[in-house]
């Protein structure tokens, strides 16, 4: 579904991604693990069109999307939930969800999808009229994910969905990621909580200082001593 081929990405003079290649097959959950500043968020921003690669190519469903405008990438079926849950604070929960469907014209379908989001996240249904700036961190994360789903993505890019959340909520968010995947959406996940990420992923890539240094099935990476000591708290 997605093939990233030897991309180089710069932030000003900083060489943030160096010849990164990876692929994601339809129906998978693939996770990227690595320490802060390794280039994981940069990669997601490049895939969603916020950054342009200097070199290399990004193929999505057989067509190049490298450097395409963000709205074209959303239209093609890629949605990005950025780090830090950027919800529109002065708008209600429901207005945020409607905004997620801004490229769509099918009123009936949009209504049905809002109901689906409320089924996935019952907490949002209780808060539908509430200003999203007044929600808790966990509720804002649910809203950011729900809003991304409103574009009916085939591929969902999730950046640090568990950041700053209580352990109980982290579990709930990961259950929902699995649910979204089961309902037919492919997921590329960036996550600091490597244990949780590997527990739901099919495959994983390890990124260090802008390069992919290791890849394999989630089970292989969970069993690797190098990964255990670097990212899984050593046990």
What is the biggest distance separating any 2 CA atoms in the chain, rounded to whole angstroms?
52
What local confidence, expressed as pLDDT, does residue 234 receive?
54
Cα dist from 130 to 126, 127, 139, 229, whole Å: 9, 5, 11, 44
With cut-offs at 50, 70 and 90, classify the pLDDT of residue 235: very low
pLDDT in tens, 114-165: 999 999 999 999 999 999 999 998 899 999 999 999 999 999 999 999 988 8
d(CA 124, CA 84): 18
Q: All domains of the chain, ordered by start, with CATH?
A: 2-231 (3.40.50.300)
Q: Is the pLDDT of residue 75 over 70?
A: yes
What local confidence, expressed as pLDDT, does residue 226 receive?
86
Q: Are 204 and 33 in contact (CB under 8 A)?
A: yes
Q: What is the pTM of this model?
A: 0.92
Chain mean pLDDT for the chain = 93
């Amino acid at each position: 579904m997605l093939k990233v081929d030897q991309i180089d990405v710069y932030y000003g003079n900083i060489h943030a991604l160096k010849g990164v290649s990876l692929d994601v097959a339809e129906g998978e959950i693939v996770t990227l693990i690595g320490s802060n500043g390794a280039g994981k968020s940069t990669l997601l921003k490049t895939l969603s069109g916020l950054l342009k690669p200097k070199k290399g190519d990004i193929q999505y469903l057989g067509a190049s999307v490298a450097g395409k405008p963000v709205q074209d990438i959303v239209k093609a079926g890629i949605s990005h939930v950025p780090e830090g849950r950027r919800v529109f604070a002065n708008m209600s929960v429901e207005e945020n969800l409607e905004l997620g469907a801004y490229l769509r014209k099918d009123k009936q379908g949009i209504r049905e999808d809002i109901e689906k989001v409320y089924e996935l996240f019952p907490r949002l249904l209780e808060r539908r009229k509430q200003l999203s700036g007044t929600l808790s961190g966990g509720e804002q994360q649910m809203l950011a994910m729900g809003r991304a789903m409103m574009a009916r993505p085939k591929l969902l890019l999730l950046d640090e969905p568990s950041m700053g959340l209580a352990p109980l909520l982290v579990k709930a968010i990961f259950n929902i990621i699995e649910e979204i995947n089961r309902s037919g959406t492919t997921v590329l996940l960036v996550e600091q909580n490597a244990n949780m990420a590997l527990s739901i992923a099919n495959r994983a890539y390890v990124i260090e200082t802008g390069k992919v240094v290791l890849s394999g099935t989630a089970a292989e990476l969970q069993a690797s001593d190098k990964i255990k000591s670097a990212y899984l708290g050593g046990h």
